[in-house]
Chain A
């Protein structure tokens, strides 16, 4: 059924997103690299909220924690929260043109980074650098591309 295909596409693109997220790159590129996995999870949880949802967000976040060596559960919490928002507000976002979607994504990424920032602060990690916020802007700018690419994996509604 369609859902099974969707599930396959979701898992595949999430793995690709994870790989892009952790691929070793030159330093300046890592500064502007958007959080690919987060964008992919956001896309699927707005477009197919019943197939991909909180479970994907949680597991994806956990994978980020493991691969980036951060506090276990930190990315999982942040990503499952914005996935929750995406699932709840998917109708609000789905009908919007890509430009407006980018703004929504920007807000979601800001919330995501804010949660990470708060957890980092609570656990006594360093906070005082604005560079960590750069990826929210590049992620929002890249959203139309991501949405365009991922849109090919499922039938248009």
Chain B
């Protein structure tokens, strides 16, 4: 009680355990929580409860921005709405045409694979969620969305928008969930160059408009403008989803690896609405089938199984199995196209 004896002649309210003892208790409590959060599975339940408690505050904190968006929406002029309507109609027609072509291709693909039926659609179910919070800590690229376990969201569910991959779900609360974006430094995504089919890993840079490809050899065939698509390894994203476009390649003679930067195709900084997708595991491009390729890949990373967060590690850790696979692919002489389609 030495620390407490020095008060300025006031009644001692804090009588009881000394600050040192109390700190020890809290420190042990924190360490236990950290251990459980890192290792044990049931700490997801604590988080689930805490996220439920946090939801009203998130909504309140987001309300000024939401009110502004609502106001601008409700007072949109007739003319602006007509223009938007026309644009949307054009877009729908374009998509319809593309869809016809796609169906023919899918059918052909099914025949080539000697499946005597058309392939099932890749996306079994999708869900539109609104962004109600943006992670405000520097270098952590996260979104909070307004759909949670009650709407069927589960951990590792892929999150996309119309233009490309955005990220995946990391924590699920009852009414809200947290999404880690592909630009978060803790996120690594197995990708493939669409032109050469060279496989590599895209790591988040911490800023919303940049991805890094740190594992490409200096002599690998990559140049500005190359489009990166997801490779289907890693068990979360299906193969062939657009991810990013290469915007800069730097090769220094004394380095073994090229320094490649890419710009995400999805509207990461401006996302207001996102799509959460469930994939049909029967489809050959679905992540489940390619995850089966990787011996040692945790089945928990397959999005079809809900709540399987593995050991609660970050997605970057989860895709480590895939990282190994892609690293192996990288060691081939670069330029040799690695096989794109999973057998």
Q: What residues make up the interface of A, taking CB atoms closer than 8 Å to B?
A: 3, 18-19, 21-25, 27, 30-31, 33, 49-51, 53-55, 57-58, 61-63, 66-74, 76-77, 80-81, 83-84, 87-88, 91, 119, 123-126, 129, 131-132, 134
Contacts and interface: CB of A to CB of B under 8 A. Distances in A.
Interface residues of B, number: 56
B40 to A, nearest CB: 11
B139 to A, nearest CB: 6
Contacts of B220: none
Contacts of B22: 53-55, 84
Contacts of A69: 135, 140, 142, 170-171, 178
Contacts of B170: 69
Interface string B10-32: 10111000011011001101111
Given A30-B138, A84-B23, A87-B19, A73 B30 contact: yes
A23 B136 contact: yes
A3 B186 CA distance: 44
A81 B23 contact: yes
B135 A73 contact: no
A73 B37 contact: yes
Contacts of A124: 313-314, 317
Interface in B288-335: 313-314, 317
Nearest to B21: A54
Contacts of B54: 63, 66-67
B232 interface: no
B36 interface: yes
Nearest to B27: A77
Contacts of A25: 136
Given A24-B65, A54-B19, A126-B185, A30 B34 contact: no
B127 interface: no
A66 B23 CA distance: 21
Contacts of A21: 136
B26 A66 contact: no
Contact of A3 (B13, B37, B43): B13
A77 B24 CA distance: 10
